[in-house]
Amino acid sequence: MDIKQNILFVFPGQGSQYVGMGQDLCQEYATARKIYEQASEVLGYDIADLCFKGPEDQLNLTRHTQPALLTHSIACLQVFRELTDDRLQPAMAAGHSLGEYSALVAAKSLSFEGALRLVQKRGELMGAHGEGEMTAFPLDVDTVRPIAERYHCAVAGCNLPEQTVIGGRPEDLARVEEAVAEAFPRKRAVRLKTEGAFHTYYMVTAAQHYRTVLDDADFDRPGLQVLSNFTGGFHEADPASIRARLFFQLFHPVLWHANLQTALAEGVAAIFEFGGGIGPGEPDAKRPNLEGMIKKGMRGSGHEAAYYAVINQQTLESAAAATAAD
């Protein structure tokens, strides 16, 4: 691959964790083992043991999920850089919700250790002060929003023009799901496994506590453009602005489709997704979390870019070989 091409690195968020995550990388690569060892030192517990062995209910706790996914994403990224001699230099980075922190690490705005401390506290606060659940609907935001608000629910994410996530109390979400099923019988809602109604007003208290954590964290000016879930556009380079947007991100919708369209408008030639995985089976059977949304977004925009997953040993080595051959 021509290193002058416009490259975007992307990182998934919660929902892409699974027991066994990262084990294949650590068995094969010393670089991955070092990343997990660093993470365990910062976090104060054995993150590798939790990721590799579970139990699943502990891994799915927000306070554990967020540092686990950050660690896996950065391990995938660092081993990929090693295998490709770091010749593929991105122009942009983006992450979905939690993934925005991995993107800031990739951009050298946050150190890996600094990002771990932030997401550890972020996860603790979201779990402790939040409430509610989330549901994804295959409908546009303008259709879903008035139904959601009728039952005190709020938009939590705009992933695609026809995929909107809302959050609220379980009983309120059930009323929204019932109303949508009645109005749109062919549209199937999916209740998500989360500890709270993330990116809605239910996270305001968590965000208020998190603000002081952000204020104390060390940020540098990013070395490449990083997309903001809160605005849908690029972060300003000023660290104070990045802190503010991460604060607002906690209780405002994730504008992922807007992020993708902003990147595509810059003429992205290749997209690499690092970390996480969805679907049944062992690590080598997992599928990338963001791939479907990325490819649908590209089809909708009419812009084409090469896509590579780097989420386990198999896809890592395949992507490294493919880019070496391009």
Domains of the chain: which residue ranges?
Answer: 7-129+200-325, 133-192
| The one catalytic residue among 97, 102, 109, 228 | 97
97 catalytic residue (yes or no): yes
> Which is more confidently placed, 324 or 272?
272
What was the pLDDT predicted at 5? 72
pLDDT single digits (tens) 153-199: 999 999 999 999 999 999 999 999 999 999 999 999 999 978 899 99
Give the mean model confidence (pLDDT) for residues 66-92.
Answer: 97
Tell me, yes or no, if the two domains 7-129+200-325 and 133-192 fold the same way: no
For residues 147-169, one letter each, b for 16 or more C-beta atoms within 10 angstroms of the residue's C-beta and e for the rest, the string is bbeebebbbbbbbbeebbbbbbb
State the DSSP string of 3-49.
TTS-EEEEE--TT---TTTTHHHHHH-HHHHHHHHHHHHHHTS-HHH
- In this structure, the number of other CB atoms found within 10 A of the CB of residue 172 comes to 20
Q: Side by side, which strands form the sheet with 190-192?
A: 154-160, 163-168, 133-137, 190-192
228 catalytic residue (yes or no): no
| The one catalytic residue among 64, 72, 96, 199 | 199
How far apart CA 69 and CA 197 sit, in angstroms, is 19
The band of 4, judged by pLDDT with boundaries at 50, 70 and 90, is low
Give the mean model confidence (pLDDT) for residues 79-104.
Answer: 96
How far apart CA 106 and CA 150 sit, in angstroms, is 40
Whole-number mean pLDDT of the chain? 96
CATH code 3.30.70.250 for 133-192: yes
For the cut 60, the answer to whether the pLDDT of residue 2 exceeds it is no
pTM over 0.95: yes
CATH classification code of 7-129+200-325: 3.40.366.10
